[in-house]
Amino acid sequence: MFKKGAHIILRYLLLAVLSLIFIFPIFYMVSLSFQSPQAIAKGYLFPDWELKNWNIVLSPSWLKSFQNALIITISSVISAVIISFPSAYIFSRYSFTGDKHIFFWLLMNRMTPASALLLPYLIIYLSIGLYNTITGVVLAYFIFNIPLGVWIFTSYMSSIPRELDEQAFVDGYGLFKFFKEIFIPICRPAISVVVFFVWYQTWSEMFIASIITRYDTMPLNARLFMLLDRSAMGADPGLSSAAGVLTCIPGLILLYWARMYLSKGFTLGRL
């Protein structure tokens, strides 16, 4: 009995230590966002509730960057799901000439480093008028988001028996009705996983966006990247922390909303 109680205490103690390790960086970032430069210089751990950083981050110019980030991310998520879902259905249900080569090519695009694409993107966008546009940023992210969606959807759909499709078509379902009433509801966990990863990839990306946009269309993370670059030369880290906290809010909301579907999506199929 004593050993069992000690084991429980040790387990909860370990859980508390791990929670502290993961939560402390977030707590410190929030604390820095409410600190004055003098408090930061003295190394204070807790905030002194200085609102100057938040007044700057919530100014119209920064909120415009936040709006740009939302538009780019939501557009990327919707377009990735719309394009990758039917593409993955074809890969999971049909065999055709070059199907494995095309699938491998998609995965190779996903593994391409962003730095290798910057110069081609910049030259092409300057020549066709997509430089400094939200549309250009969304199209630039296609090379990462579409392969990711196809890969996850294909893995999940491959675990769904093909007999389900055949039975539905025998029962008189058309392709559109089959997708709407049967297949899409079954694939909701996979859709949630794709939405989560595409959102995370797009929202957190700052390197490409900082090159192909200017301040009027620059998303929040790209602007934060430029701010952090200046921070190395003496800019206020409190402002960077406030902007960092702002970037975390939409992701936490999305994670809370999709938490049930995410758990199913990670455990079902072959993900």
Q: How is residue 181 written in tokens? A: 């009433």
SS (H, E, C) 60-92: HHHHHHHHHHHHHHHHHHHHHHHHHHHHHHHHH
Q: Domains plus CATH for the chain? A: 1-49 (no CATH), 51-267 (1.10.3720.10)
pLDDT at 131 (0 to 100): 93
Neighbouring residues of 86: CB distance < 8 A, sequence distance ≥ 6: none
Q: How is residue 150 written in tokens? A: 């196809």
Q: State residue 111 phi and psi, 5-degree precision.
A: -90, 0
Residue owning tokens 């809370």 = 256
* Predicted TM-score of the model (pTM): 0.86
| DSSP code of residue 156 | H
Mean pLDDT, the chain, rounded, equals: 86
Contact in structure between 190 and 152 (CB atoms under 8 Å): yes
The sign one gets for the Cα dihedral 82, 72, 205, 119 is: positive
List, for residues 59-80, the tens digit of each pLDDT value.
Answer: 998 999 999 999 999 999 999 9
List, for residues 205-260, the tens digit of each pLDDT value.
Answer: 888 998 999 878 999 988 888 776 554 445 678 888 898 899 888 888 887 877 76
CA distance 79 to 263: 24
